[in-house]
Structure 1
Amino acid sequence: MKLSCPALTRWIAVLCCLLSTTYGVFAQSPLAYTTFSKQSPVAHLYPAYTTYVSSEVRGTVTDSSGALPGVSVFVKGQPGIGTTTDLNGKYLLTVPNDNTVLVFSMVGFDNQEIPVKNKEVINVQLKRASNSLNDVVVVAYGKQKKRDIIGSVTTISPEELKVPSSNLTTALAGRLAGIIAYQTTGEPGQDNAQFFIRGVTTFGYRSSPLILIDGVEYTATDLARIQPDDIASFSIMKDATSSALYGARGANGVILVTTKEGKQGKAKVYIRFENSVSQPTKNIELADPVTYLKLHQESVLTRNPLAPLPYSQSKIDYTELGVNKDMFPAVDWMNMLFRERATNQRGNFSVSGGGQIVNYFLAGSFVQDNGILRVDKRNNFNSNINLKTYSLRSNVGLKVTRTTDVMVRLYGTFDDYNGPVDGGTGLYRKVMRTSPVLYPAYYPVDEEHRFVNHIMFGNFDKGNYVNPYADMVSGYKDYNKSLMSAQFELRQDLSFVTPGLAVRAFTNINRASYFDVSRSYNPFYYTATSYDKYANTYQLMVINPDQVGAGAVPQGGTDYLGAPVGGDKTVTSNFYFEGAANYTRTIDQHGLSGLLVVTARSRQDGDTKTLQKSLPYRNMGVSGRATYNFDGRYYAEFNFGYNGSERFYKTERFGFFPSVGMAWYVSNEKFFEQYKSTINKLKLRATYGLVGNDEIGSPDDRFYYLSDVNLNSGTNNPAFGTDGRYTRNTIAINRYENRNITWETSRKANYAMELSLFGKLDVVAEYYTEKRYNILMGRTYIPYTLGLQVDLDNNPPKANVGEASGSGVDISVEYLQNFGKDFLIQARGNFTYARSRLDKNESLQYGDDLYYLNRINYPISQPWGYIAERLFVDDDEVKNSPAQTFGDYKGGDIKYRDVNADGVVDKLDMVPIGFPTTPEITYGFGLSAKYKGLDFSTFFQGTARRSFWIDTRATAPFVSYRYRADELSGYILQNQLLKAYADDHWSEENRNLYALWPRLSPVLNNNNSQTSTWFMRSGAFLRLKQVELGYTVPKKYTNKIHIDNIRVYANGTNLLNFSQFKLWDIEMAGNGLNYPIQKVINAGIQVAL
């Protein structure tokens, strides 16, 4: 065969391209960018590369900081003729003729179009995009340009999520329009924020959003552990159009996170290290021990002057004088157990880069969070909270051919925890229920006990009082938690079949495991007796010698750590498969796209101990999307999800969830040209559709289409024989089958406007409505005469009869102003108003005569209680007022309003009080500025229209309170006295009818502990969430040491709080007796190589 010179050249180019594609040979050679004709032997493999007998153009593409690899360079109108820049930003392209126009395009930069006009060299400097219209946003099962999005999708820059915390969820509040979030504890490892998308519009089992990381479902704790440095995009999907493709799992909204991938270019190394100091935002102030003694005496006398007093006058006098604090203790338990502050460390390392064949992103991180618990040096172990978190991530992409890409994602995160057996919150609650005047934390070693091998902890009477210090230092708990994930993705461009067609598939397998173990010794408790006031001496007596039986309270003391006590052990395995075909095409002024996705997931929980939990959780589905736009002005979109779940009977197993959306780009109309200098962008959009929720019940109660029958029940057993001594187990029916139970469904509508003014101000405003129906709930009106064996009061038959609705507004505003090239200011803010309404709930409906008790049409989390008018003046007023049915009460106790005027105050007088316990308004605003190398930012977060009720049982002084009936069984508890209650309570000397606390009582007064307006407080607050000051070292210095970038910074979070509530951190709401939320001061450095 005889080849002409041009043909020979073409065949050599083909060979070079094949070698380059398969093995990376000639990756830097200009031949790697040579184009081929459609008649080429490899045209069917590489149809995008077409040759013409014409001229060559070469050049370099840069931005303000240097060469840009990966820039698309193609002929305008003929995208099949194109290439990309290499590692040094260079390109070489054969163009058809001298009239050709080249287009230079890259995400995040403005496109440039340059005519060739006989030029052989065209160098281009791209500018950063002045707006984000061409930015690509991650949406359900794919990506869309921001200008093409019709649904309600809000994104946030990962940089804004870099707060001095190891928990990502604590950064969400106030930063994204549509997110309602709040934090109730600051304990390391337990400090996840509660967050909802557009509030809570269901009273069913699950109200939290679906969380997807790289397309795979994970838990809120998994989201909390992800490193902001690893995040490429963070999106929330709020309406039906954006989440309908998730069908049965998208009713509560979707959070979608993607992690970084490598980009073509030289290897970039990134290092960030931080060291921080944390301390409580606010500590609860307790009354001093002497005040505690005196007011405890008063609490007894004011209720019954003839009752015996808890303390002698000499004890009060000696305690006040500070005489022998071992015999007359005055213990500051807070200071004994908790330090003022703790230090924490965080480090992150990553390397990324790639060539034309392989790209990679590798990252690792280490986080250490310490608690504020004190450590007793007499122990040979540390019981302070210490949580170490390690994570590793590897995202490696391989270009197998010019049309085939493979991505392998590996991820692992590991938690190693050490801390007290009861946890930080458990100890905090014990402190709040321990008397400060009965016994010291421990006694010093005296001559008689100088050879003991244990700490002599203090206790009282029989030793059955709680000593929180002993509980803290007498043992420790370890837990290990790990998550391993492996994901394989395949992407195939099928443009050679038809332009714009592509398919992809990926499989993810992940496994999460957890186990904990505790070791502790039984404390030896001592009490001081035989006090000689003249010699100021006492005798120590051990309360629980080691021969005390195992069943005693307390247990017999030991000098050593006992055998490990195993706790929970869980393993969860997940499998997920997703396959999709995507089509995108622009024909003249018509933009078309289509997407079809099939999914399958399975989850298996190990060590579940119950039959229903041990069975796999499985879902399958088909989803699709079709979009159309005309001339960038008119947009339409249709989405659907068709999903199946193992939870339902075969006739209800699959659900169909469609949605539609339309948008009008007003500012792209010709008639709008005259306004574009002022109004740069005006876009209107609307969506409507259905989404579902299949998590409608407890995992212990999954298969409602099956009866739950116990064939060997041990309850209500019949007795036989003359004396009833013989019994037989019976059959018990726990649940009757209901084959009609189905999905919880949400019907959503969304209306939005996007507006840009003067090229500086961007506003997005959205109004939405939602109707939730088929909510699973227990039936109320089932007569006992039906003869059903189930417990109608505690476990009634369930059905999809509940309904609720919601509506609200999301607004986000961003302003950017440049003052020359060195100075810029950016301001941003967002506002979310989300209101829910209960539309149907059988258990909460009343007749016409009690219409005011109906909870229908009120918010789902609306508190109900009594209207407290004031405190009773005296006992005479008590006798002449409507009877209150809550136990004994007298002058100085709370007086409630008789709403229905029937002469009795009871449950029929309860009314809605305050705002819902879930905030209806969340907002945030911030300001950032940059001048040369200096940068400064601040951010405020707030909530409004939220109420909470102070837990009077947990805070009532002197009383015994348990959070659970079986908590600390056998032990005597005695609540502390809050300083605020000591300073402002009703007494014979202070007959203030509006005092903070009513008449004191040594036991729980049921009348004063009713949910009422007396202890209802506004949950509104404004918090200075974050402040940061940073400095970037000029390049003229870093270049000398071969470093691309060095930035040092200092920041802080939870620095100030503005609210009317002063007892504890208001974000903790009604019961502030938990491990406190932390204020953090942080310093860090980040280096790029």
Structure 2
Amino acid sequence: MIVVLLLASIVTTNTYGQNASTTNSITVQGQVMDAEGVPIPGVNIRLKGQNTGTISDLNGNYKLSDVTEDAVIEFSFIGFATLEKKVKGETLNAILLEDTKSLDEVEIVAFGTQKKESVIGSISTLKPAELKVPTSNLTNALAGRIAGVIAYQRTGEPGVDDSNFFIRGVTSFGYAKSPLILIDNIEVDTKDLSRLQPDDIESFSIMKDATATALYGSRGANGVILVKTKEGQTGSMKLNLRVENSISTPTKMLELADPITYMKLHNEAILTRDPLHALMYSEDKIDNTVPGHSSVIYPVTDWRNELLKDYTMNQRVNLNISGGGSMVNYYVAGSFMQDNGILNVDKANNFNNNIKNRNYSVRSNINIKLSKTTKLMVRMNGAFEDYNGPLSGGSDLYYKIMQSNPVLFPATYPKDEEHAYVKHIMFGNSGDGKYINPYAEMVKGYKETGRAKLESQFELNQDLDFVTKGLKVRALFNTSRLSYYSTSRQYKPFYYALGEYNYMNNTYAVDIINPNGGTEYLDYNEGDKTITANTYLEAAVNYDRDFGKHGVGGLLVMQLRNNHQPNASSLQTSLPKRNVGLSGRFTYAYDSRYFVEGNFGYNGSERFDKDHRWGFFPSAGLAYMISNEKYFKNLLPYVQKLKLRASYGLVGNDNIGDSNARFLYLSEINMNNGGTGASFGYNEGAYKKNGIAINRYADPSIGWEVAKKMNFAVEMTFMDALNITAEYYKESRDHILQSRADIPNTMGLWKTPNANLGKAKSHGVDLSLDYNKYFTNDTWLQLRGNFTYAANQYVEYEEVEYPGAPWKSRVGNPITQEYGYIAEGLFVDDEEVRNSPVQFGEYGAGDIKYRDVNRDGVISELDMVPIGYSKDPEIVYGFGASYGFKNFDVSVFFQGLARESFWIDYGRVSPFFDNSSTDVRENNQLAKFIADDHWSETNRNIYAVWPRLSDSSIENNAKKSTWFMRDGSFLRLKQLEIGYTLPQRIIQKAGLKNLRVYFTGNNLFCFSKFKEWDVEQAGDGLKYPLQRIYNIGLNLTF
């Protein structure tokens, strides 16, 4: 490649130079880079309207002689938009923007590539640069960035902060709803995708319709994410280093009331329910408690401050080296990421209980040219994750903070003379030691987990042009080993409580509560250990050839997968899981105007009986490139591309149940069944007979879940700058596995049988646009946006009959639709209670009043109706812009979602409750929004935010209803980045090809009607919060 570039430079410069005028000419030189400041070699550089030209060298530099001072230089390179710049001096640098819509571009498709103009399937691509967000989790970069993907994040806890994502929403109520994920053609799980480095990604594609996914047969019903990692390019060695350091802090947490208000309203909660009951807090305690000035006698414990820090720091480093020659090309990369939690650590412990999640990865992609027609690709990668954190996880600690009383006792007592020599921490508690101390729960121990995956892949490509032009064969072998372990270490806390107190001299004593219940050493728990071995084989024959105006292509692929867990805990999970398939594709194109494509997947699955073991999943598609018609350019000169596409096909899903549902065509008989045997009826006193029981009857008719997908699309390009793609889709999902609902329990079955009874359907719209424009030689602008609408509903679902209440049926409603009561307000007074339909338990004025939907005079389950939108958003969108001026660049990105409802958890958010099922008592904290607006004798507002207070759960108010339903819509400033690329004249002295420094902010602002916590967490707002990130980065290229 080096020789070719040098020769091309010499030949083009000398040849073209013969025709150039030397009158008033100068020599122009400069460097060509991409939008991130990375040099681009091999760029074609020529004087517009003349034959004079050259190409850029390996460092992106060029020199062009005999250039007139008013000339225009044109820069062009495959995959980038052509740039024209007017000469203004002897130095002229150029920044090329990617041209994602170029007709000459190739598109990654199932098991190969196609020219983009001939692609019929619905495939969305995402630039790897857009995945470079300041987090260690790649899945958190998906929301709002790519059309057709519904994605959201519920927690910011390091190590478990994966986003939930679905292609075109949830389209099934069966077991598997997530898309198939492939990295370099190998199926992986979400964890592998989340830890993949954006710097290592060559292409990122989302496959949505049947034409795009049919070749994956039994695996592609929920869509496919296809990622291709980078390979080495011919040229001198290039070293790229990216270093980032970030500060993260919670975006928003639930605001709590002050301790004085807490005590006063706790007393109110007791009195309003039972005026004769003793109060929790005396006037003396309330009067002498001073917020922010905790004392031993009148403690004020800010549990959040005790457990949490304001911020933490995280680090990310990625180093990759690439290059190669005529025989071997290489890409080698390594990365390190460390994400820390915001938990405090007690110095009295000799261990760290804070969250620390470390990820290491190595990757090696080697391409070897064995001959002119034979190429071997060897890929090796390893990913290792080490986690250290609190015993119950970060989110559980946040919940424990909400469960804890802020005025009963301090987190710890200081050591006095009597306890000066104790070796343990003196944790605070009440006199009986029955209250939860979240600080003790946090620091009493820690857990460690480790995950390691090693993978090797060998791919051999043979060009058979010597047999017939366009014929190729390929063979691929992949094997991987995945291991996981967990351990934990902890001690049992010693609790102390306030004993005697002398008011005269202000002295006190603390007494140990559990002298025999605590320990001063760490116990060890071995935890879990798993091993998984995967093997994959693939063989393919590909044919692609043009005959004049006719283009013909064909592909035939065989796949074999084997998954084995040798140390599994049960017989069924220990048996190897195998899948085999044969897939094919046929394409035809005429005159770059008319395109036809047919695909099929023929797959076998061990899950089904021999009569249903094999499934055939075909698809077909048509496309018409109207803009390639001869008349079109004169008719619509400002439209450079107009393409129509349509497709229809079937895709299967054999992942219809967990590991215990693998062989539903076999009976499962329990010879002992724990002494339970058969049970005829579920009610108390039902007839039971111990002995042999049939856990599951064989059903050989159980088979594939099948998706029927239809897609219509239009692609347009205006003025060589604005690209728009709009798609409409429909899908029906048949044979969804569900439990039978019409078999009476008097049949004596231990488990309800399953059957392929369910049906669902979905429809929606995907829209995407991007705009690229140069305004001057040094100024450019990129705009981008996308919109996804995905709606679904039950079509057939076996359920119990609801006489007189048809609204309780799931049929016709969204798959994640919630059902509940319609709240009409709060009861005004006890007279209204007496004159209203009977509700639940004990209730009165200020409690929630429900609508009697069926008008039978009683509020019951028959009055539950579909309420709100579904729990998964139906609309996700994103839009952003990037702007460059000279060496500066700035980009901004907004993300939003709509048509989503969630519910505040009444039991967890209600103040003063004891939700514990053990002898350890809880006193829920008081949220400020409840303190500010709740029904009371002095605020008899029937539309107050919160009903009448109570120190225990009120059955009537605990029902799921519209009262606690909230709108989950929001618009977020997801990312802001400002960068500066140092001039070449400066960095070349240090031997650098590129140096860019940048600042990135993530999750900066959020606009939403909901104000209590980060709305994207929906009903999980009491978990570990989402993080706002401020990141500084440095990108070096040598």
TM-score by length of 2: 0.91
Pairwise CA distance, 1:32: 15
Pairwise CA distance, 1:291: 1.4
| Structure 1 residues 60 and 456: alpha-carbon distance in aligned structure 2, compared to 1, 3 A threshold | farther
- 1:469 corresponding residue in structure 2: 439
- 1:635 corresponding residue in structure 2: 595
- 1:871 corresponding residue in structure 2: 826
- 1:76 corresponding residue in structure 2: none
- 2:635 corresponding residue in structure 1: 675
Measure the CA separation in 2 of the matches of 1:68 and 1:302.
74
Asked if the contact 2:429/2:497 (under 8 Å) is kept, the reply is: yes
Asked if the contact 1:268/1:351 (under 8 Å) is kept, the reply is: yes
Paired residues, what number? 977
Say whether 1:411 aligns with 2:411.
Answer: no
Say whether 1:651 aligns with 2:598.
Answer: no
Measure the CA separation in 2 of the matches of 1:298 and 1:814.
58
Measure the CA separation in 1 of the matches of 2:695 and 2:828.
52
- 1:811 corresponding residue in structure 2: 767
Measure the CA separation in 2 of the matches of 1:89 and 1:339.
47
- 1:165 corresponding residue in structure 2: 135
Measure the CA separation in 2 of the matches of 1:60 and 1:580.
44
Say whether 1:1066 aligns with 2:1021.
Answer: no
> CA offsets per residue over residues 227-270 of structure 1, 9 Å max, x none?
00000000000000000000111010000001000001111100
Asked if the contact 1:926/1:940 (under 8 Å) is kept, the reply is: yes
> CA offsets per residue over residues 33-53 of structure 1, 9 Å max, x none?
99xxxxxxxxxxxxxxxxxxx
Measure the CA separation in 1 of the matches of 2:560 and 2:43.
36
Asked if the contact 2:999/2:1033 (under 8 Å) is kept, the reply is: yes
- 1:1026 corresponding residue in structure 2: 975
Give the one of 859, 866, 888 matched to 1:912: 866
Measure the CA separation in 2 of the matches of 1:126 and 1:185.
39
| Structure 1 residues 599 and 33: alpha-carbon distance in aligned structure 2, compared to 1, 3 A threshold | farther
Pairwise CA distance, 1:971: 1.9
- 2:847 corresponding residue in structure 1: 893
- 2:664 corresponding residue in structure 1: 704
Pairwise CA distance, 1:730: 1.5
Asked if the contact 1:575/1:603 (under 8 Å) is kept, the reply is: yes
Give the one of 202, 226, 232 matched to 2:196: 226
Give the one of 923, 944, 954 matched to 2:908: 954
Pairwise CA distance, 1:438: 1.7
Give the one of 94, 112, 130 matched to 1:142: 112
Asked if the contact 2:805/2:863 (under 8 Å) is kept, the reply is: no
Measure the CA separation in 1 of the matches of 2:663 and 2:988.
65
Pairwise CA distance, 1:31: 15
Structure with higher Rg: it is 1
Pairwise CA distance, 1:464: 2.8
Code of the aligned partner of 2:560: A
Q: Secondary structure at the match of 2:147?
A: coil
- 2:319 corresponding residue in structure 1: 349
- 1:850 corresponding residue in structure 2: 805
Code of the aligned partner of 1:953: G
Measure the CA separation in 1 of the matches of 2:690 and 2:809.
43
> CA offsets per residue over residues 457-488 of structure 1, 9 Å max, x none?
00123323211111111211111111111111
| Structure 1 residues 111 and 288: alpha-carbon distance in aligned structure 2, compared to 1, 3 A threshold | closer
> CA offsets per residue over residues 600-629 of structure 1, 9 Å max, x none?
001112432111111111100000000000
Say whether 1:942 aligns with 2:904.
Answer: no
Say whether 1:771 aligns with 2:732.
Answer: yes
- 1:833 corresponding residue in structure 2: 789
Pairwise CA distance, 1:29: 7.7
Measure the CA separation in 1 of the matches of 2:201 and 2:290.
58
> CA offsets per residue over residues 758-817 of structure 1, 9 Å max, x none?
1111100000000001000011111346x3x323xxx41000000000000000011122
| Structure 1 residues 805 and 534: alpha-carbon distance in aligned structure 2, compared to 1, 3 A threshold | same
- 1:101 corresponding residue in structure 2: none
Pairwise CA distance, 1:87: 7.5
Measure the CA separation in 2 of the matches of 1:572 and 1:891.
59
Pairwise CA distance, 1:1000: 0.7
Measure the CA separation in 2 of the matches of 1:233 and 1:718.
56
Pairwise CA distance, 1:325: 1.9
Say whether 1:685 aligns with 2:645.
Answer: yes
| Structure 1 residues 362 and 31: alpha-carbon distance in aligned structure 2, compared to 1, 3 A threshold | closer
Spell out the pairing of 1:210-221 with structure 2 (5 A cutoff). Answer: 210-221=180-191
Give the one of 244, 269, 283 matched to 1:313: 283
Q: Secondary structure at the match of 1:430?
A: helix
Measure the CA separation in 1 of the matches of 2:307 and 2:59.
60
> CA offsets per residue over residues 306-360 of structure 1, 9 Å max, x none?
1222233333233248887222211110111001100111111000011110000
Compare 668-677 and 987-996 and name the one that shifted more: 668-677
Say whether 1:585 aligns with 2:553.
Answer: no
Spell out the pairing of 1:344-423 with structure 2 (5 A cutoff). Answer: 344-423=314-393
Give the one of 948, 953, 965 matched to 1:1004: 953
Measure the CA separation in 2 of the matches of 1:176 and 1:361.
27
Measure the CA separation in 2 of the matches of 1:31 and 1:445.
76
Give the one of 284, 301, 305 matched to 1:335: 305
Give the one of 747, 758, 774 matched to 2:708: 747
Say whether 1:783 aligns with 2:783.
Answer: no
Asked if the contact 1:600/1:621 (under 8 Å) is kept, the reply is: yes
Say whether 1:820 aligns with 2:756.
Answer: no
Pairwise CA distance, 1:85: 12
- 2:235 corresponding residue in structure 1: 265
Pairwise CA distance, 1:30: 8.8
| Structure 1 residues 939 and 1072: alpha-carbon distance in aligned structure 2, compared to 1, 3 A threshold | same
Asked if the contact 1:944/1:1021 (under 8 Å) is kept, the reply is: yes
Pairwise CA distance, 1:876: 1.1
Give the one of 962, 973, 984 matched to 1:1035: 984
- 1:924 corresponding residue in structure 2: 878
- 1:762 corresponding residue in structure 2: 723
Compare 972-981 and 170-179 and name the one that shifted more: 972-981
Pairwise CA distance, 1:420: 1.1
- 1:299 corresponding residue in structure 2: 269
Measure the CA separation in 2 of the matches of 1:504 and 1:323.
73
Say whether 1:205 aligns with 2:202.
Answer: no
> CA offsets per residue over residues 1001-1060 of structure 1, 9 Å max, x none?
111111111111111110000000000000001112122222100000001000000001
Measure the CA separation in 2 of the matches of 1:105 and 1:591.
27
Measure the CA separation in 1 of the matches of 2:1010 and 2:496.
41
- 2:522 corresponding residue in structure 1: 561
Asked if the contact 2:650/2:708 (under 8 Å) is kept, the reply is: yes
Measure the CA separation in 2 of the matches of 1:170 and 1:60.
52
Give the one of 816, 821, 842 matched to 1:861: 816
Asked if the contact 2:499/2:510 (under 8 Å) is kept, the reply is: yes
Measure the CA separation in 1 of the matches of 2:520 and 2:512.
14
Measure the CA separation in 2 of the matches of 1:58 and 1:521.
77
Asked if the contact 1:845/1:855 (under 8 Å) is kept, the reply is: no
Pairwise CA distance, 1:59: 8.2
> CA offsets per residue over residues 1055-1089 of structure 1, 9 Å max, x none?
00000101100000013110000000001110001
Measure the CA separation in 2 of the matches of 1:437 and 1:128.
60
Asked if the contact 1:845/1:856 (under 8 Å) is kept, the reply is: no
Q: Secondary structure at the match of 1:241?
A: helix
Code of the aligned partner of 1:65: V
Q: Secondary structure at the match of 2:501?
A: strand
| Structure 1 residues 332 and 324: alpha-carbon distance in aligned structure 2, compared to 1, 3 A threshold | closer
Measure the CA separation in 2 of the matches of 1:930 and 1:71.
20
Code of the aligned partner of 2:796: K
Measure the CA separation in 2 of the matches of 1:889 and 1:30.
86
Spell out the pairing of 1:485-496 with structure 2 (5 A cutoff). Answer: 485-496=455-466
Pairwise CA distance, 1:974: 2.0
State the identity %. Answer: 54
Stretches of structure 2 lacking an aligned partner (at least 5 in a row): 17-28, 34-38, 45-54, 62-74, 84-93, 680-687
Q: Secondary structure at the match of 1:382?
A: coil
Measure the CA separation in 2 of the matches of 1:530 and 1:111.
84
Measure the CA separation in 2 of the matches of 1:673 and 1:85.
33
Q: Secondary structure at the match of 1:283?
A: coil
Say whether 1:1046 aligns with 2:995.
Answer: yes
Instruction: Give the root-mean-square deviation of aligned CA atoms.
Output: 2.7
Code of the aligned partner of 2:553: S
- 1:65 corresponding residue in structure 2: 32
Measure the CA separation in 1 of the matches of 2:316 and 2:399.
29
Asked if the contact 2:32/2:95 (under 8 Å) is kept, the reply is: no
- 2:685 corresponding residue in structure 1: none
